[in-house]
Structure 1
Amino acid sequence: MRFLVFRLLPALFATILLLAAATEYSVARPSRRTANVPYVPATDSAFSAGRQLLDVYAPKARAARPYPVVVFIHGGNWNSGSKALYSFVGRRLAKQGVVAVVISYRLAPAVRVPQMADDCARAVVWARRHIAEYGGDPARLFLMGHSAGGGLAALLATDDARFRRWGEATNPVRGVVLDDAAGLDMYDYLKKLAYPGDEEFLVPFGPDPAVWRQVSARYHLTPQTPPFLLFVGGETYPSISSSSAEFRKALVDLGHAPYYQVLPGKKHIPMVLQLYWQHNIIYQKLLPFVGAEVVK
């Protein structure tokens, strides 16, 4: 079994998410959305119209202090997906006292994973510099990602040099929530090419093993790496299960104590669809992790 179901059922997955988003819009709106904010200027040489945009979901309620911030990075096999499919994540987070930033980024084959990671890093830099305007606390900035987006989130949290390239003296990420993350160690995965059709991943990752290693969070871990929450589906793809377990072990070996939970019976798509429900286990663990307070 391959670990990214988007390649098998992209239309069905998108339809499910769009229906969830439509229902979400009608039933859960205690938030204020600012849509299609560019995080890369049109004058930039890397500008791609329609991709380098983000939506901000902020609680409508007043708060005694700024809200924590969660930047959500979508999955999609590194060649599909959009922030438009995940409004339910933004609204659920905002409903629970978090300023959510849901982003889009460039995809393969137009670019490769290093450029995707740069896009995501620039979105995070935008959030650190501007999120106070939306009631968020730039000192409490966290990442969350599903599937390929989980791999990108983990990379940003561990690759400090990527932020220095965009003018940040220090990595602004204070912690990461991984939801059935893919791509934590693509160096190992692509060296093996163990499954039929694995060569297709050479499109987003390219042919150079040095690049595979560069964009794999596993090889950037240090004792200073920020804290992680890791959630893995009990019936997800074997490569996600094994790479997540190995990632956890690498963190523990460096002295970290990551939260790690396997959710029985959950396959890859339900791992993100469960974020539609406010009281699911991921939100239950995420809220105290980021320091969210009850919205009144």
Structure 2
Amino acid sequence: MTSHNKMPDALRTQIAQLGSTLSLEQIIATKALYLPGAPSQDSTTCLETRDLAYGTHERHRLDLFQPAGHLAEKPPIVIFVHGGGFVAGSKGHPSDPFYSNVGRWAARQGFIGVVMNYRLAPNYRYPAGKEDIHMAIRWLVDNPSIHGGDTTRIVLWGQSAGAVHVAGFVAEHCSAGGPVSSAIMMSGLYDLTTLAHSEREAAYFGEDTSQFASQSPLPKLLDAKIPLLFTVSELDPPNFQQQAKELLDQFFERNGCWPPMHFLAGHNHISPIFQVGAEFDSFSEELHNFITTTPAFQA
């Protein structure tokens, strides 16, 4: 499935000119393109609570985004896990609209938005990322009065390294029942045995090739009993393209069909997340439909 609606031609050209090589320069330039249209803080639609501690480490912090006004029923909880090559990245802060734009978008859809930090490599290596997701979910389940969401309808959403951590959690915890009702993985890495490793992967997973198979979310990810949604961008670097193909190949071999996979035309690695909530958002409609049409949401 290809998602390409709403992106202005001028923006598409500017993103294309930045190329497909993932770098700090590309990220900064992409952010600058989306900054003017990013959703700002608005207490009439979204209530924001910052830096809630879900664990003891200084990185065990999350930001909470709640719909303003009375809610007729408990809404689902959407947890976003940021990228950063396993060694960097942050949920953001009030003066920076990224990744608060994801939480604000969730709240404006009537969901509870959660944007979380997690421990970083090289000080904290595999499986720290998926452990921190588990810890954040446990905190949400144990503290319903703080967020007001439905803890039986938790949607995990990760991008890049965040998608890797989400995939790892889903592979380990979602083959049976539980609070996670669905998961979204954007430009993730799924099979370490076929991946061309960089220093970022080595910082988190190590360099022992004999461990790569057990550290890979595939094939256990394919055993998940919850709805899954994947994306890959047209201008993703080759390793992310290859990993999307590996996921498709293994899913097809197992099920005889493709998984729900969106090809994000015109986008680079980071632009799909920076666009969330913007006027020219080309993918949030699909995200909203996925979240609201899963069986757990309808229950």
Measure the CA separation in 2 of the matches of 1:10 and 1:125.
36
Describe the shift of the 1:135–1:258 C-alpha distance in structure 2 as closer, same or farther (beyond 3 A): farther
Kindly report which structure 2 residues correspond to 1:129-140, keeping only aligned pairs within 5 A, or say none. 129-131=142-144, 133-140=146-153
* Deviation of the 1:224 alpha carbon: 4.0
2:129 maps to 116
Q: Which letter does structure 2 place at the counterpart of 1:5?
A: L
SS in 1 for 2:121: coil
**Matched residue, 1:234:** 234
**CA–CA separation in structure 2 for the residues paired with 1:243 and 1:180:** 8
Distance 1:11 1:278, change over 3 A: closer
Distance in 2 separating the partners of 1:202 and 1:266: 27
Would you say 1:73 and 2:88 are equivalent positions?
A: no
- In 1, the alpha carbon distance for the partners of 2:141 and 2:21 equals 31
| Residues 187-233 of structure 1, C-alpha deviations (whole Å, 9 max, x = no match) | 321xx54xxxx245322211223543333211323444321111211
3-state SS, counterpart of residue 83 of structure 2? coil
Deviation of 1:39 after TM superposition, in Å, equals 0.8
Could you tell me how far 1:239 is from its partner in structure 2? 1.5
Are 2:76 and 1:62 equivalent residues in the alignment? no
Distance 1:90 1:29, change over 3 A: farther
Provide the rounded CA distance (Å) in 1 between the counterparts of 2:171 and 2:182: 10
- Determine the structure 1 residue equivalent to 2:4: none
Partner Cα separation in structure 1 for residue 21 and residue 153 of structure 2: 31
Aligned length: 269
Which SS does the other structure have where 2:123 is aligned?
A: coil
Report the structure, 1 or 2, having the larger helix content.
1
Q: Write the distance in 2 (CA, Å) between the matches of 1:125 and 1:17.
A: 37
Counterpart position of 1:5: 22
Which position in structure 1 is the counterpart of 2:90?
82
Shift, 1:242, TM fit? 2.0
Q: Does structure 2 conserve the Cα–Cα contact (< 8 Å) formed by 1:3 and 1:239?
A: no
Say whether the 8 Å CA contact 1:4–1:77 is kept in structure 2.
no
How far apart in 2 are the matches of 1:247 and 1:239? Answer: 12
TM norm structure 1: 0.79
Contact residue 79 and residue 107 of structure 1 kept, 8 A: yes
Question: Residue in 1 aligned with 2:180?
Answer: 173
Contact 1:57–1:90 under 8 Å retained in 2: yes
1:187 aligns to what? 193
Higher mean C-alpha displacement, 29-38 vs 220-229 = 220-229
Q: Distance in 2 between matches of 1:232 and 1:116?
A: 21
Q: Deviations over 1:107-135 (max 9, x none)?
A: 11211131122112211222233245422
What is the match of residue 95 of structure 1? 108
Of 29-38 and 202-211, the range deviating more from structure 2: 202-211
Identify if the C-alpha distance between structure 1 residues 25 and 249 changes in structure 2 by more than 3 Å, giving closer, same or farther: same
User: Is residue 217 of structure 1 aligned with residue 217 of structure 2?
Assistant: yes
Q: Which has the higher contact order (CA 8 A, sep 6+)?
A: 2
Q: Is the 8 A contact 1:235 1:266 kept in 2?
A: yes
| Aligned residue number for residue 5 of structure 2 | none
1:247-292 CA-partner distances (Å, limit 9, x unpaired): 1333344337632111222111212212142673432122222228
Three-state SS of the structure 2 residue aligned to 1:218 is coil
- Cα distance change of structure 1 residues 252 and 130 upon mapping to structure 2, 3 Å threshold: farther
Q: Quick one: structure 1 residues 176 and 184, their matched pair in 2 at CA, closer, same or farther if it must change by over 3 Å?
A: same
Q: Distance in 2 between matches of 1:175 and 1:263?
A: 20
Q: State the alpha-carbon separation in 2 of the partners of residues 290 and 132 from structure 1.
A: 23
When the two structures are superposed, what TM-score results if normalisation uses the length of structure 2? 0.78
Q: In the superposition, relative to structure 1, how do residues 20 and 70 fare at CA in structure 2: closer, same or farther (>3 Å)?
A: farther
Instruction: Verify the 8 A CA contact 2:46 2:108 in the aligned structure 1.
Output: yes
1:89 is paired with a residue whose SS is: helix
Q: Is the 8 A contact 2:231 2:264 kept in 1?
A: yes
Partner residue in 1 for 2:154: 141
Distance change >3 Å, CA 235–CA 15, structure 1 → 2: closer
C-alpha distance in 2 between matches for 1:100 and 1:243: 28
- Match for residue 166 of structure 1? none
Match of 1:260 in 2: 261
Greater alpha carbon shift after TM alignment, 171-180 vs 246-255: 246-255
